[in-house]
Chain A
């Protein structure tokens, strides 16, 4: 179904044709570089330099093998998975708890607490990296998973509280009240009645936080030094430093680094889009 009434006039057809052309050109600009990246990952250096546009002569996995055997790639990948999952879980837990308190109960400082969380949304935490570093250092958390995860949790909480509060406020009051009449505890009401209803919002919040955390480079750059603890984007820069002149291996590294999130995005594109644009789209 089209939003605009489709008229069959020639002018309209021409205009639609122009629009389709523009979209097609844009699609090529978006996709072609990624296509070249994937194709180049099967090529040798000589092939990349001499015939950049051709398909690879053989779909050789030699580059992938080198990435597998000569780098810490798998370790970086595992670290990123672990750190992202831990941070997102804690963000969901802490901010849902806080949002539930703000949305479902009336208490004196409620507005103030919400304001406090909301003001955190505009704070670019990168700029506080110096004291943050000193702070984590005094807690012994520099160069550890825990330090990095806590920073991400702190960054994610404000907007998560904002979204969850907005959502929880829309839930009908009747369910809660009838449960309360039946003598259910506050915890049980939250756990078994309200939260299951909040699942769609939780998915959005999870994706909204998972993508930037997964892709983050700045905080690991400052906070993580041990090779064993490095995340994927950070590890990628190490890897780029080691293989600067071997473009086949470089393209393979880039392809492999892009692969997990791209696959996930293709499957869940709708949730990704609404998760990431959440906050900008009301």
Chain B
């Protein structure tokens, strides 16, 4: 950047400053009031005891101790955290893995590839409430489309969302259906940047699909892969809407689908049957989630930037 000072404005430095300040002010005010201040407060509130919505006293790390080390809260916290981690890895393998295959298939640009791009991206524009509820109906044990289809081949009613062993997987499936188009098209864009010439040159040198993929495309789309990974990570740890709609606030059955987002909301704003809410413990959970997400993202971004320079 080498934007020199203009002589017109140089004559009136205060006027120029005022002009710049007035351009920046609205955005800054909104950010300070509704992002910075709440975020700093979130850290502060985690150290307070609450009665209803009023902080009643500073209690140090007591809220953190409870959610991390005191049963039953700690059991719930670790259970939820475990599920977030499972969700992240499952999405990496199944969502992003499928997306990678689809992207490679679309890269070939066979007839109809444009319409396929539009189709795979369609669910992405829909609300998670719509997607979650649609799949909840489809997964209904008796009347749902999935079991009705399975019944045609003689498979009995499976309680997809009611069974501990299938509930999380079923919700993940709905989530993958919802979001698949996003990593697909991000990776496709990454692959397309590799450039026709590079690929054609490699082909002429006799490179097959496997060599082309591992030696040329994969290294060059590494930045896209990293971005997809980071976004998947953030998404996994903020997961809320689809489990809320499909499994309810308690992560039914028996917490088998509980994730930090649900647990945080339940703690802060009261579980369904009791209305007992705890802003202190809720804030402690939020702070921990924030540290996980921001920490991992920062490290990953640094790593990404370094690698980009190397390439």
* Residues of A in contact with B (beta carbons under 8 Å apart): 1-5, 15-16, 19-20, 22-23, 26-27, 29-31, 33-34, 36-37, 48-49, 52-53, 93-95, 97-98, 100-102, 104-107, 113, 116-117, 120, 122-132, 134-135, 150-151, 153-155, 157-158, 161, 169, 173, 177, 180, 186-187, 211, 214-218, 222, 232-234, 236-237, 240, 247, 250-251, 254, 257-258, 261-262, 265-266, 269, 272-273, 276-277, 280-282
Contact = CB atoms under 8 A, between A and B. Distances in A.
Given A130-B282, A236-B130, 13 more contacts: A27-B116, A30-B119, A36-B138, A122-B297, A124-B290, A126-B240, A130-B45, A130-B268, A135-B37, A135-B38, A135-B41, A186-B19, A211-B125
Interface string B5-45: 11011000000110110011011101101110111011001
A261 B125 contact: yes
B185 A273 contact: yes
Interface stretch (B66-74, B84-92, B107-115, B154-162): B107-115
- Considering residues A3, A211, A222, A250, which has the most beta carbons from chain B within 10 angstroms of its beta carbon? A3
Given A153-B30, A154-B30, A276-B182, A215 B286 contact: no
Given A5-B200, A134-B53, A135-B41, A94 B134 contact: no
B222 interface: no
30 contacts: A19-B108, A22-B105, A26-B119, A30-B177, A31-B122, A36-B145, A48-B143, A52-B143, A93-B26, A105-B16, A122-B234, A123-B294, A126-B261, A130-B45, A131-B42, A131-B45, A135-B37, A150-B34, A157-B27, A158-B31, A215-B126, A215-B129, A217-B129, A217-B244, A233-B129, A250-B133, A250-B137, A269-B118, A269-B121, A276-B124
Contact of B125 (A94, A101, A157, A262): A262
Contact of A125 (B35, B123, B264): B35
B122 A4 contact: no
Contact of B27 (A37, A117, A128): A117
B289 interface: yes
Interface string B282-296: 110011011001100
B-side interface size class? 35 or more
B127 A233 contact: yes
A101 B26 contact: no
Contacts of B227: 280
A98 B143 contact: no
Contacts of A129: 268, 286
Contacts of A250: 133, 137
A157 B269 CA distance: 27
A130 B121 CA distance: 33
A217 B293 contact: no
B80 to A, nearest CB: 14
Contacts of B59: none
A100 B39 CA distance: 27
Is the contact region of chain A dominated by helix, strand, or loop, or is it mixed? helix
B196 interface: yes
B31 A26 contact: no
Contacts of A16: 108, 110
Nearest to B54: A134
B110 A2 contact: yes
A33 B130 contact: no
Contact of B143 (A27, A120, A125, A247): A247
A217 B241 contact: yes
A197 B244 CA distance: 43
B94 to A, nearest CB: 13
A239 to B, nearest CB: 10
- Considering residues B126, B182, B237, which has the most beta carbons from chain A within 10 angstroms of its beta carbon? B126
Contacts of A31: 119, 122
Q: Which 5 A-B pairs have the closest CB atoms?
A: A131-B41, A154-B34, A215-B127, A101-B23, A98-B27
Contact of A26 (B20, B37, B116, B234): B116
A94 B30 contact: yes
Contacts of B211: none
B276 interface: no
B109 A30 contact: no
A60 B145 CA distance: 21
A134 B41 contact: yes
B240 to A, nearest CB: 6
Contacts of A97: 23-24, 26-27
B106 A23 contact: yes
B42 to A, nearest CB: 5
B166 interface: no
A48 B8 CA distance: 73
Given A4-B109, A131-B41, A254-B134, A26 B102 contact: yes
B12 to A, nearest CB: 10
Contacts of A52: 143, 145, 148
B186 interface: yes
A33 B134 contact: yes
Contacts of B93: none
B20 A273 contact: no
A4 B197 CA distance: 9
Contact of A126 (B119, B180, B238): B238
Contacts of A30: 119-120, 122-123, 177, 180
B183 to A, nearest CB: 9
B53 A218 contact: no
B203 interface: yes
